[in-house]
Structure 1
Amino acid sequence: MRFSTRLISGLALSALALASPLPDSSPKDKRSFVERDGTNFTVFEHAATGAKIEFVTNSGICETTPGVNSYSGYLSVGTNMNMWFWFFEARTNPTTAPLATWFNGGPGCSSMIGLFQENGPCHFVNGASTPSLNPYSWNSYANMLYIDQPIGVGFSYGTDSVTSTVTAAPYVWKLLQAFYAQFPRYENRNFGIFTESYGGHYGPEFADYFEQQNAAITAGSVTGQNIKLVALGINNGWFDASLQEKAYVDYSYSNNYKQLISDSQHTSYLNTYNSQCAPALAKCKSSGSNTDCKNSDSTCYNSIEGPLSQTADFDVYDIRAPSNDPNPPETYATYLTRSDVVKAIGAQSTYQECPNAPYQKFASTGDNSRSFLSQLSDVVKSGVTTVVWAGDADWICNWFGGLAAANAVTYAGQAAFQAKALASYTLNGAAAGTFKTVNNFSFLRVFGAGHEVPFYTPQLALQVFKQTMQGQALAST
């Protein structure tokens, strides 16, 4: 129920009392307005979850398209737990456009990376100090919500109790519930989750958790708004360490850009993987203990990932570039420390792109070594249109590992998917990658893109985003 105030005459009030002798004792949502240091905030208290959402309307930062609304601020998801969000209406048909969320990975990296470097309404061209409009922004098609999670990441601040992907999911669900209550016009829209990198953990778990909550709402055991999940997209994701640690060895040897290791080194690293890394990961999987999973993470890093990353001077996010590659430009992070920008958007903390503390909490549980292929499989089985895609110049979450993870997804079309060859994927008739689709599940290798695919190939990324949100199989144009 939404909170409202009505003037009722004495006669009407008496009639109401006779008709309804028991007053409604259910909690009510509350809305108020406050001014703080010259900035106006809307404050909304969500009765169902106990969350409070506080935000600025139309800051004039980033999205400057006339008539396109934006909201930026915080959701309080617990005692001293303030999660930052930034929402942009669709540039066209916002009243009917779907709703999508974006999460960067890490774990512990801000989604402002995606907003300003990848697919948001503005970007910093050639390292400019101020942003300009991005013609390939994903809000050209959908209403877009960017979330900094867990607490302590980006502009989020306060007590961080999240120690794993699994413990992160409920807070994101809570934010969305409060968002729907404050902005009910976005309820029942088609909803998509898009993410990258550690999003190979986040995406499957968040999607699976949302669907579990939907089932609980339907069963009456949870009170909330159904999230109409129709799409999941994960580019250059980290899904399963046992598959992707081996992919480091193979990609370093036989990618299309730069051979990093020799034949003999390739054999040696495979032997090391089989004798050290793989057994440690198997132990993590069998016991599930934090100790075993932490040990497997350090074992694989020290024997495989770490040494391979030092075999040459290259950027692990774009193998074509040197380790000091200036792209994507980091000027956005400086922009987000400007006092006028911070004030305008309603931020209450100093921006931190990828702070160490949240990362260490995930490391303490060995979360990196835990596979999320079963959750990804559950989401695909449920019928959600799902795409696993990867820029083929990325080393850190390379497309070899992404394809291996995609082939390991268990669903009705798995055998056909595994047997299917990659075919050409085109953008306006030009070769842009290779892909395969069976039923509602697709894999796409993107030519010439590093880790942050929408930065390198923005027009293609928008095409993939739109096709996936529309529930279509990937298709060339």
Structure 2
Amino acid sequence: MRFIGFPALLTSATALASLSFAAPLANGKDRRSFIERDGVNYTVFEHAATGAKLEFVTNSGICETTPGVNQYSGYLSVGTGMNMWFWYYQRNPKCRMILNIVRFFEARNNPTTAPLATWFNGGPGCSSMIGLFQENGPCHFVGGASTPSLNPYSFNEYANTLYVDQPIGVGFSYGTDSVTSTATAAPYVWKLLQAFYTQFPQYENRDFGIFTESYGGHYGPEFAHYIQQQNSAIDANTTTGQKINLVALGINNGWIDGVIQEKAYVQFSYNNTYKPLISQSNYDTYMATYSRACLPASQACMSTGTDDDCSNANRRCYNDIEGPLTGAANFNVYDIRQPSNDPNPPETYVQYLQSAAVVKAIGAKSTYQECPDAPYNKFTPSGDGARSFLSTLGAVVSTGLTTLIWAGDAE
């Protein structure tokens, strides 16, 4: 079940204890070195506090071609055999930095004062290259062109933007994947940001925002909540690190609460702005099935929080509601006005990122995978998709965090 279209988590101490991070450097000092591999020059930065390592290529010439905007692409090693891909763009050539995520693009306007934003695609287990090349990134493929062109409506017009591929195995990221839920993903994202701030100290006090979509209805609230918890722990001197000035959370078409949204699948399929996707009799049947099977299973998940109950809810609701409705008619799940084979947005970027020349230029070490099964399958046993993040979202909003929830039925 991929939550990538069609319009209170319990975290055990055992689950968090299983997380693996690289050991801090023995001498307690950051290290930087330079290497050449296969004709490509890399900078290597080792972060003493977290044990994270950044290895990146400078100015590959791929994607962002705005004059004065530098770029860095490579990997952040956040744990034992865990390598997250990143791409960073910077406008001021006198201020060189690195990043530890999928990609980072400096703002095209006022980069020295612009806020810092992160973008997470959903899945779970889908690459944020989807957002970068098909939605809000600095370049896109117009009309299915074989090479990208500048996107004038990119997020990085006004914000320094970081695109994150997580968990491991997604996009160009590779290695050991120990993430089995949204809750176990959050600490890795925080560690990654800690290494980022050390390498880019000028962003330490900037306004910071999390933006996401689809399964980001889980990611967004939990990542924001975890960052706020870590900030409080730093204030209380119970942990060490750089406080993150989180000021905003944005969720597009987010999968937040199954009890509400499984029912909404049925309602939207019959009554929407454009055309019914199912008949009245089918609507009645689906609503009865929801009340008889999906709703009780979801309520059991919310009540007990066990992996078995939540996995059962995931399975029942998908088999009875989501799966059949998605195949009920010939429509595009992102824009119901269009047929299922609508070529927009074009998938050209996938072939582009699998080109040997592009892979070499940006310093990637694996074959690009848009939505691989392995990371997704690790979420299934925990029933993560059926768990509600409505209370987590409410807790985040109650802190005064500026929050934007937006959704639509057409592109």
Same fold (TM over 0.5): yes
Distance 1:226 1:355 in 2: 33
Cα distance in 1 for residues equivalent to 2:240 and 2:72 = 25
Q: Distance between the aligned counterparts of 2:315 and 2:29, measured in 1? A: 49
SS at match of 1:220: coil
Superposition pairs of residues 185-224 of structure 1, within 5 angstroms: 185-224=202-241
Q: Which amino acid aligns with 2:106?
A: E
* In structure 2, distance between residues paired with 1:231 and 1:215: 17
Q: CA deviation at 1:304?
A: 1.1
Aligned to 1:28: 29
**In 2: Cα distance, 1:242 partner to 1:368 partner:** 11
Counterpart residue number, 1:46 = 47
Counterpart mapping for 1:244-263 below 5 A: 244-263=261-280
Structure 2 match to 1:7: none
Please name the residue that 2:304 is paired with. Answer: 287
Q: Aligned partners of 2:46 and 2:27: how far apart in 1?
A: 14
Query: Match for 1:377 among 394, 397, 404?
Result: 394
In the alignment, structure 1 residue 170 sits paired with structure 2 residue 187: yes
2:140 & 2:62 partners in 1: Cα distance? 11
State the distance in 2 between where 1:176 and 1:40 align: 24
Q: What SS does structure 1 have at the residue aligned with 2:56?
A: strand
Question: Which portions of structure 1, spanning 4 or more consecutive aligned residues, are displaced by more than 3 angstroms?
Answer: none
What corresponds to 1:145 in structure 2?
Answer: 162
Please name the residue that 2:71 is paired with. 70
Contact in 1 for aligned 2:334/2:409 (Cα 8 Å): no
Please provide the CA RMSD for this pair.
1.1
Shift of 1:26: 6.5
Say if 2:329 is the partner of 1:312.
yes
1:262 CA displacement: 2.2
> How far off its partner does 1:344 sit?
1.1
Deviation at 1:187, TM superposition (A): 1.2
One-letter code aligned to 2:308: T
Cα distance in 2 for residues equivalent to 1:189 and 1:382: 19
Q: How does 1:449-460 map to 2 (within 5 A)?
A: 449=411
After superposition, give the CA deviation of every residue in 1:157-176 in whole Å (9 maximum; x if it has no partner).
00000000000011111111
1:337 maps to 354
Q: Please list, as runs of the form range in 1=range in 2, the aligned pairs for 1:394-433 lying within 5 A after superposition.
A: none
**Higher RCO, Cα 8 Å, sep 6+:** 2
In 2, the alpha carbon distance for the partners of 1:228 and 1:58 equals 28
Aligned partner of 2:298: which letter? L
Partner in structure 1 of residue 147 of structure 2: 130
Residue aligning to 2:38: 37
- 1:154-197 superposed Cα distances (whole Å, 9 cap, x missing partner): 00000000000000011111111111111112111100100000
Separation (CA, whole Å) in 1 of partners of 2:317 and 2:240: 43
Q: CA deviation at 1:288?
A: 1.0
SS of the aligned residue for 1:237 comes to coil
Task: Render the CA deviation track for 1:398-447: whole Å, top value 9, x for unaligned.
Answer: xxxxxxxxxxxxxxxxxxxxxxxxxxxxxxxxxxxxxxxxxxxxxxxxxx
For 2:161 and 2:212, locate their aligned partners in 1 and report how far apart those are by CA, in whole Å: 12
TM-superposed deviation, 1:317 = 2.2
Task: Name the counterpart of 2:256.
Answer: 239
The structure whose Rg is larger is: 1
Partner of 2:96: none
- 1:403 corresponds in structure 2 to none
Paired residues of 1:48 and 1:223 also in contact (CA < 8 A): no
Q: Which runs of 5+ in 1 are unaligned?
A: 1-24, 394-448, 450-477
Taking the TM superposition and a 5 Å limit, the aligned residue runs for 1:359-378 are: 359-378=376-395
Cα offsets for 1:281-312 (capped at 9, x unmatched): 11111111111111111111111112222221
Query: What's the secondary structure of 2:338's corresponding residue?
Result: coil
Aligned to 1:82: 83
Q: Equivalents in 2 of 1:379, 1:55: separation in Å? A: 34
Residue-by-residue CA offset, 1:46-102 (whole Å, 9 max, x unaligned)? 111111111112211101011112221111111100011111111111111110000
Aligned-partner residue type, residue 55 of structure 1 = F
CA contact (8 A) 1:122 1:133 kept: yes
Tell me the SS of whatever aligns to 2:393. helix
Amino acid at match of 2:351: T
C-alpha displacement of 1:264:
2.5
| 2:368 is the counterpart of 1:351 | yes
Matches of 2:239 and 2:358 in 1, distance apart?
39
TM-aligned CA deviation for residue 34 of structure 1 = 1.2
- Aligned to 1:391, the other structure's residue is in SS state coil
Q: Which amino acid aligns with 2:214?
A: S
In 1: Cα distance, 2:348 partner to 2:285 partner: 41
**Secondary structure of 2:296's aligned partner:** helix
Separation of aligned partners in 1, 2:85 and 2:390: 28
Q: Is the 8 A contact 2:47 2:53 kept in 1?
A: yes
Structure 1 CA distance for aligned equivalents of residues 117 and 362 of structure 2: 21
Query: Does the 8 Å contact 1:107/1:362 carry over to 2?
Result: yes
Q: Amino acid of the residue matched to residue 346 of structure 1?
A: G
Note if contact 2:336-2:409 (Cα within 8 Å) is conserved in structure 1.
no
Unaligned runs of 5+ in 2: 1-25, 87-102
| Residue 96 of structure 1, aligned match among 113, 124, 134 | 113
